[in-house]
């Protein structure tokens, strides 16, 4: 009987880090069945002469939970060779969810992951209540790529506790119920659970995201559940200030490791502009945890966030900004005009709570009022100097005059290539944190696999091609205990990417498109050099063009 597919004459880079070699690769019934010289016939053959044949890329940090309802192709990740995406990160998501709690889940996504409310209300199909139902609804409906499901603690706690989940820790009975639902989900195929303790993660009604109220006793119990399940991993956002790992956060990570016996992944590790030593200090501090399988995640591109004040995510770490969320523009203008608010804003921006405290790093990108057009391309500090005003007053004055629509770019982190190179090459770090599906009109980092291969490998030569492919295949697969993907090896699932190492890459900066429900906008980057993408033995991309096939499975 003929094979389904043979990829011939390519350079096999198998994801293990070992040197590449020329060989054929054969696929039958969704599995890799042979690697070497293959003389058997096949229904389809691909000539990969001069090309790299690699495992499909595994993205460990996405937020496609809602997008799966309206985009079965899971763009833009699929364009960049991603064949498996892990969703449900940062403790936020849309399952499990009772019908009466859907507005709470939507508002959490609006505030934490910056997805517009009208997009979510129009796009989510709500064909589930429990988490196993959520997994089945998405996989049975078909997806282009494989999906790994983390169970986020915020909707899980809300499912059991209602709105009280954002006010307090769970009591003993509630903790038992939550732990039981977690075990049920993992037994049904979930990869584990996620949470967030970051103060900038604000949920519905300006309250803390529900996972932030999880007590140490709760975490102890939930981590212990994973010891008795077939697999399980934990992803948690812990840094109160980006890249700074506090003592109590270290202790939480250590406890999660002890109680679960599983891999733990933590956020956020960035080379902060203005705090260049923070990432290195945190990595050194967490070195004993990394030896036990607890790894920080980082991004590999300059971290530039496009934002506005209508959804003021950039200022979510500041205590007085909670009431600004989920308000009309008219109400926000009232708040921004209040002298008391402005006084506190100035005080907070000068303190440690500010995500970015330097107005030189805020650049005006787009304005709507005709009298403000001359400000485009200037920093807030430059404008403040011209006006003789404070940076806080300057930004708020512009926003008020522009109807709270002004778009600005903030250089948050990773502006120094040499320091960023050190993070990318550090064995204790895991590459990811791209947030595909989230911060849709602010960030566009989902193209990081092609950026890694094009910029950091071909142009900067900071690591070998083999090591780079290992970083985006077997390493993230191991982190989430995805055992049958991430390597080119006989018997494993046939997720394969064929690309041209001489041209692979992606745009330096993302650009806006209006292809979300209700004509919502999002930032995307296009890929170059990705020619064939195979998922479970089926081509979702052939000769650089998407086929429309939906062979994805639960990872």
Of 159-173, 203-217, 302-316, 537-551, the poorest mean pLDDT is in 302-316
Over residues 439-462, mean pLDDT: 93
Segments of the chain assigned to CATH 3.20.20.140: 57-302+414-496
pLDDT for 512 equals: 86
Which residues contact residue 322 at a Cβ distance below 8 angstroms, ignoring those fewer than 6 apart? 202, 206, 207
Average pLDDT estimate for 221-227:
97
Which three-class secondary structure string do you get for 431-476?
ECCCCECCCCCCCCCCCHHHHHHHHHHHHCCCCCHHHHHHHCCHHH
pLDDT at residue 1 is higher than 70? no
H or E segment to which residue 53 belongs: strand 52-55
pLDDT at residue number 440 = 87
Q: For residue range 279-295, what is the model confidence (pLDDT) as tens digits?
A: 899 999 999 999 999 99
Phi, psi of 155 (to 5 degrees): -65, -30
Q: Which range has the top average pLDDT, 64-78, 331-345, 507-521?
A: 64-78
Q: Tell me the average pLDDT across 306-317.
A: 83
| Enclosing H/E stretch for 387 | helix 380-387
User: Per the CATH hierarchy, to which homologous superfamily does domain 57-302+414-496 belong?
Assistant: Metal-dependent hydrolases (3.20.20.140)
Q: What is the pLDDT of residue 354?
A: 77
**Residue 337 half-sphere exposure toward CB, CA atoms < 13 A:** 10
Mean pLDDT of the 192-214 span:
92
Q: Quick check: 190 pLDDT over 90?
A: yes
Calpha distance 438→500 (Å, rounded)? 29
182-186: long-range contacts at Cβ-Cβ below 8 A with a sequence spacing of 24 or more? 182/151, 182/156, 182/222, 182/225, 183/225, 183/228, 183/229, 184/130, 184/131, 184/132, 185/131, 185/132, 185/135, 185/149, 185/151, 186/151, 186/225, 186/226, 186/229, 186/230, 186/231, 186/232
Taking residue 493's Cβ as centre, other Cβ atoms within 10 Å add up to 27
């Amino acid at each position: 009987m003929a094979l389904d597919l043979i990829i011939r004459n390519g350079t096999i880079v198998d994801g293990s880090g070992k040197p590449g070699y020329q060989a054929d690769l054969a696929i039958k019934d969704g599995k890799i069945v042979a690697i070497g010289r293959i003389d058997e016939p096949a229904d389809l053959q691909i000539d990969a002469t001069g090309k790299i044949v690699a495992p499909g890329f595994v993205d460990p940090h996405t937020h496609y939970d809602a997008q799966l309802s309206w985009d079965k192709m899971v763009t833009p990740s699929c364009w960049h060779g991603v064949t498996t995406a892990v969703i449900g990160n940062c403790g936020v998501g849309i399952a499990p969810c009772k019908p009466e709690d859907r507005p709470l889940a939507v508002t959490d996504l609006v505030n934490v992951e910056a997805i517009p409310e009208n997009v979510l209300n129009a796009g989510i199909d709500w064909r589930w209540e429990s988490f196993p139902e959520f997994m089945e609804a998405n996989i049975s409906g078909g997806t282009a790529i494989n999906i790994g499901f983390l169970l986020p603690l915020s909707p899980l706690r809300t499912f059991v506790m209602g709105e009280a989940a954002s006010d307090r820790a769970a009591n003993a009975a509630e903790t038992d119920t939550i732990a039981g639902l977690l075990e049920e989900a993992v037994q049904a195929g979930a990869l584990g659970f996620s949470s967030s303790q970051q103060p900038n993660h604000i949920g519905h009604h300006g309250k803390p995201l529900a996972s932030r109220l999880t007590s140490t006793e709760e975490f102890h119990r939930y981590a212990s559940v994973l010891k008795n399940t077939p697999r399980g991993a934990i992803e948690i956002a812990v840094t109160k200030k980006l890249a700074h790992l506090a003592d109590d956060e270290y202790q939480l990570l250590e406890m999660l490791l002890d109680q679960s016996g599983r891999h733990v992944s933590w956020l956020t590790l960035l080379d902060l502009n203005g705090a260049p030593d923070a990432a290195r200090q945190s990595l050194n501090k967490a070195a004993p945890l990394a030896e036990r399988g607890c790894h920080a995640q980082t991004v590999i591109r300059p971290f530039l966030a496009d934002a506005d004040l209508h959804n003021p995510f950039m200022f979510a770490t500041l205590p007085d900004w909670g009431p600004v969320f989920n308000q009309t523009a008219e109400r926000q203008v009232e708040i921004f005009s209040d002298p008391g608010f402005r006084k506190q804003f100035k005080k907070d921006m000068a303190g440690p709570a500010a995500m970015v405290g330097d107005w030189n790093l805020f650049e005006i990108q787009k304005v709507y009022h005709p009298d403000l057009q001359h400000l485009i391309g200037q920093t807030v500090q430059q404008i403040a100097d011209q006006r003789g005003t404070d940076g806080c007053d300057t930004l708020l004055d512009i926003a008020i005059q522009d109807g709270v629509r002004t778009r600005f770019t903030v250089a948050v982190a990773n502006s120094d290539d040499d320091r960023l190179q050190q993070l990318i090459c550090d064995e204790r770090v895991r590459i990811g944190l791209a947030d595909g599906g989230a911060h849709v009109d602010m960030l566009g980092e989902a193209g990081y696999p092609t950026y890694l291969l094009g910029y950091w490998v071909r142009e900067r030569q900071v690591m070998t091609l083999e090591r780079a492919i290992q970083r985006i295949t077997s390493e993230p697969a191991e982190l989430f205990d995805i055992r049958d993907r991430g390597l080119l090896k006989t018997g494993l699932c046939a997720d394969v990417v064929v690309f041209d190492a001489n041209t692979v890459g992606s745009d330096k900066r993302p650009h806006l498109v209006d292809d979300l429900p209700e004509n919502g906008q999002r930032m995307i980057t296009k890929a170059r050099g990705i020619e064939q993408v195979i998922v479970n033995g089926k081509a979702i991309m052939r000769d650089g063009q998407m086929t429309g096939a939906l062979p994805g499975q639960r990872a």
